[in-house]
Amino acid sequence: MQQYIYWFNQVLGTSLALYFQQECEYQSLEEVEPPTSRWLEKITPVPEITFNEQVIIMLALMPHINPQTLDIFFVQNKNFDRQYTEFGGWKGISHGGFLPTGETAVFILAGENVQKRKNIIKLFQRDHWFYTQNILRLEGAGDGEPFLSGQLHVSEEFLSKVLLDIEYKPDYNIGFPAKRITSKLEWEDMVLDYQVAIELEEINTWISSNKIIMEDWGLSRILKAGYRSLFYGPPGTGKTLAATLLGKKNEMDVYRVDLSMIVSKYIGETEKNLARVFDLAENRNWILFFDEADALFGKRTSTNTSNDRHANQEVAYLLQRIEDFPGTVILATNLRSNIDEAFSRRFQSVIYFPMPTEELRADLWRKMLPDKWLAQDTKDELIAMAAQTELSGGSITNVVRRCALSLVGADNKLLDKMILKEALQKEKMKS
Structural domain spans, the chain: 2-164, 178-352, 358-430
Question: Is the pLDDT score of 274 beyond 70?
Answer: yes
Distances (CA, A) of 410 to 274, 276, 368, 425: 50, 51, 20, 20
Q: What is the average pLDDT score of the chain?
A: 88
Q: What is the pLDDT of residues 275-306, one digit of tens each?
A: 878 888 887 889 999 888 776 666 555 555 55
Read off the pTM.
0.76
The answer for residues whose C-beta is within 8 angstroms of residue 277's C-beta and 6 or more apart is 176, 177, 178, 255, 257, 262, 288
What is residue 338's predicted lDDT score, i.e. its pLDDT? 72
User: For residue range 234-271, what is the model confidence (pLDDT) as tens digits?
Assistant: 999 999 999 999 999 999 999 998 776 666 655 566 67
Residues in the chain: 431
Residue 205, pLDDT above cutoff 80 = yes
For 1, how many CA atoms within 13 A lie in the half-sphere containing its CB? 13
pLDDT digits (tens, 9 = 90+) for 393-429: 999 999 999 999 999 988 888 999 999 999 999 999 9
Q: How far apart are CA 389 and CA 387, in angstroms?
A: 5
Q: Are 338 and 230 in contact (CB under 8 A)?
A: no
Residue 367 φ then ψ, to 5°:
-75, -30
Q: State mean pLDDT over 230-236.
A: 93
Range of weakest confidence among 214-218, 265-269, 270-274, 382-386: 265-269
For residue 305, the model assigns a pLDDT of 57
In degrees and rounded to multiples of 5, residue 245 shows phi and psi of -80, -25
**CA distances in angstroms from 172 to 91, 179, 180, listed in the order given:** 27, 5, 8
**Span 334-341, average pLDDT:** 77
In this prediction, residue 263 carries a pLDDT of 66
| pLDDT of res. 264 | 61
State mean pLDDT over 114-141. 91
Q: Would you state the pLDDT for residue 71?
A: 94
Q: Is the pLDDT of residue 188 over 70?
A: yes
The C-alpha atoms of residue 385 and residue 231 are separated, in whole angstroms, by 30
Domain 178-352 homologous superfamily, CATH: P-loop containing nucleotide triphosphate hydrolases (3.40.50.300)
